[in-house]
Chains A and B, each alone.
Chain A
């Protein structure tokens, strides 16, 4: 019997699923609130994908800037789909949260006067992005991890959550597979905080790490919680060909140019004011248009930073200098690097309020896996790291407060035993030569890129939906070659694929229904934004037949929708 089930139930007041920035920040805050906290993560926390965030984290620190201006830029960036009450929280609390990161030990770059330096970023009216060269995410992730070590918070690393435990409509914990031992554990909690990050691997290619498979979103969805705005997926304008690895927006923030095959700075045609620093949806569509109209270079456009000089490139952009060298064979000091739009970030996610509460009691979410919604239809660069710390903290605080009133339900180890039976069955599926999960995943990824990419229309979306549903059928026949219990990545890939297929369906169904163009969701058959019918959030609920959609109003407090130009 390769897999085993733990007869013991592990109990913690608060269990945070995910060890990236949002998760660790939530765990720290819950611990400060007096709760017994554990982090469950499928990788060791420092391996989380927050580490890949390069450019920076936003707050209105400069004298001429204000949180209101930051909020307005975010609202405009969101194409008015972001909830303005949530955006206000994000931008107001940014200042203090970033100061706290600094006090924890983040080595932010400084000005001459020793205070935090700021760089310009896309869609922002002022330089307001704090940074650590182009390793900002890593530098923050590691420091928050240091705080986790300092606070001696329990961490179950390399544990893969397989399901949430729900009793009487309340989330009571989860079941997780410990990869090192092949043991399934039942973990009981008075509150669970989901912080599992993005789902970029649904697309092929993607800037996201291989671990970004939307696990938390899928667990919440299947458990009955509402997903929101899943049709909004961000395509980052500068990803490396062919690997899809990210080149920071900081490259353009520092003054880099985008050029077409004729050597023209084509952004002048699409965003005459902000040029390369228009919002990401605008720049990605511009690039895609240039490529489709024959002014691309082998399916890419060119990012040129040579004029910034050696010093800027090697001190502030040194990571991308290395990546371009290692993965594309390009010396950024000597030549431009080919880039193209690539899947980068999921604006949608598990619907939450500003304290991370989902539609299910006892279940919280924060970070990319959540949808508060602060990013609406398009996220601004530098706002995702910010979201993780602001809403991670708030979710952790709210969870710690709630658990003071909630007793343990006294779960038995039955959920773990049930999961054990189910997964053992999966493990017995197929032999060598059977259908591989990677085949299904790639078909899904290609279909999503083609039908639910930078440009969409009803025909393409409908076809993608058919493909995804077909793949869900074939998923039942995927073979697991590795029959072992210890560190079975073949099995984990299968579980991840199941999560991704469920989520892909919500993304396409949501996109097909939304007959307008807003932010990152651009419908060629409905090229205009339609505030009368579509200034509203899409909610998706799980049913056995596929997602059931509902709609919810957008909170507009200060700013009414206006025409959006850059």
Chain B
């Protein structure tokens, strides 16, 4: 079959380097992946096309790029799937990082953030003579996270990172989870404290993008959510994120629905004057548009059922 690819090119050595798009037509076998097509272009048509690749079996993590607008591994994306319903397959470098050349991006900030979570086991106590005893379930559970190949796809498409470069971003946080959830690690509490800081677990907006694009089903966002639970259980409840979560459930327990007037007060604290003042314009706009929540908040009928659900869930913890 014939496949058409539109590749975003960038040559840093041009006098005034600008990204541009270049179209290629490839005579492709039906088993081709997008990577096969790019390699064919590079080998037969245009040797100047730069792309990182090695294993061809989604384990080295080299060939992450955006295909039709979303980050993925080129070696895991069948050309037939990528071409379905389109005239051209759009191939671009990953986002949220500088481009070195063509599809090759600079991953330095990616690695810096992974390093920032102290990505190594920190056991406590003397090293045993034999292996640390651990349940198979705990190890199999960690396989799901160790499956991360550090390709950068989740970071490329992270919507928080796009507006806040300080965010540790999904890959590093999933890596952190791998240690917090490891029964052999002795530094979990310290890790959770550090992860609760600005840029950490509470800065995720739960947009699910990382879960969708991860080619290895690591589900970074789910790991971040579990880290939040663990951080609160470990007593790190003073962050806005944790307070918001607690306030949310307290309010629901009380009346069966959200009291939107009290939620920000409970999250930020009534004496947090700068924050409180910053909410005034929002309140005024809501008032003008008739969207101000009722001042006298009432419980819903049957609220005792909701309270019972809370009690039973808390008992299960």
Contacts and interface: CB of A to CB of B under 8 A. Distances in A.
A210 B12 contact: no
A46 to B, nearest CB: 5
A487 B104 contact: yes
Interface stretch (B20-28, B84-92, B138-146): B138-146
B135 A489 contact: no
A150 B119 CA distance: 8
Interface string B1-28: 0000000000111000000000000000
Contacts of A169: none
A115 B143 CA distance: 17
A58 to B, nearest CB: 16
Interface bin, chain B: 35 or more
B267 interface: no
Interface in A241-295: 242-243, 245-246
A114 B132 CA distance: 8
Interface stretch (A9-17, A319-327, A534-542): A319-327
B47 A52 contact: no
A127 interface: no
Given A107-B143, A109-B140, A489 B61 contact: no
Interface bin, chain A: 35 or more
Interface string B76-115: 1010000000000000000000001110101100010001
A482 B47 contact: yes
A471 interface: no
Contacts of A99: 130-131
A105 B135 CA distance: 14
A171 to B, nearest CB: 27
A481 B50 CA distance: 12
A48 B149 CA distance: 11
A386 interface: no
A482 B46 CA distance: 8
Contacts of B150: 46, 142
Interface stretch (A130-138, A355-363, A451-459, A548-556): A130-138
A484 B13 contact: yes
Contacts of A49: 54-55, 60
A490 B133 contact: no
Contacts of A246: 57
Nearest to B77: A326
Contacts of B146: 107, 132, 135, 138-139, 142
B252 interface: no
Interface string B173-203: 0000001001010000000000000000000
Interface string A318-339: 0100110011110000000000
A110 interface: yes
Of B53, B54, B106, most A-chain CB atoms within 10 Å: B54
Given A107-B139, A315-B140, A210 B147 contact: no
Contact of A107 (B102, B119, B182): B182
Interface in A98-143: 99, 102-105, 107-117, 132-133, 135, 138-139, 142-143
B42 A489 contact: yes
A487 B56 contact: no
B51 interface: yes
B127 interface: yes
A135 B54 contact: no
B43 interface: yes
A236 to B, nearest CB: 13
Contacts of B57: 52, 243, 245-246, 323, 327
A436 interface: yes
Given A52-B60, A210-B53, A319-B59, A115 B31 contact: no
Contacts of B53: 210
A485 interface: yes
B44 interface: yes
A486 B10 CA distance: 11
Contacts of B106: 180
B121 A104 contact: yes
B103 to A, nearest CB: 10
A210 to B, nearest CB: 5
A438 B46 CA distance: 12
Contacts of A436: 43-44, 47
Contact of A44 (B46, B51, B107, B142): B107
Contact of B62 (A47, A485, A486): A47
Contacts of A149: 115, 119-120
Contact of A438 (B44, B107, B134, B143): B44
A480 interface: yes
Given A105-B120, A146-B120, A489-B51, A2 B13 contact: yes
Interface in A22-79: 43-44, 46-49, 51-52
A114 B147 CA distance: 21
A154 interface: no
Contact of A486 (B13, B59, B135): B13
A147 interface: yes
Interface string B35-79: 000010011101110111111111111100000000000001010
7 contacts: A43-B60, A47-B52, A109-B136, A110-B134, A132-B143, A209-B54, A210-B56
Given A107-B182, A146-B121, 19 more contacts: A52-B60, A102-B131, A103-B131, A109-B140, A110-B134, A113-B133, A132-B139, A149-B115, A150-B120, A209-B56, A209-B60, A210-B54, A243-B57, A245-B56, A326-B76, A436-B44, A484-B13, A484-B101, A487-B102
10 A-B pairs with the lowest CB-CB distances in the bound complex, closest first: A481-B47, A105-B121, A438-B43, A114-B133, A209-B54, A490-B47, A146-B120, A110-B136, A150-B120, A482-B48
Interface of A: 2, 43-44, 46-49, 51-52, 99, 102-105, 107-117, 132-133, 135, 138-139, 142-143, 146-147, 149-150, 180, 209-211, 242-243, 245-246, 315, 319, 322-323, 326-329, 436-438, 480-482, 484-490, 493
Interface of B: 11-13, 29, 31, 33, 39, 42-44, 46-48, 50-62, 76, 78, 100-102, 104, 106-107, 111, 115, 119-121, 123, 127-128, 130-136, 139-140, 142-143, 146-147, 149-150, 179, 182, 184
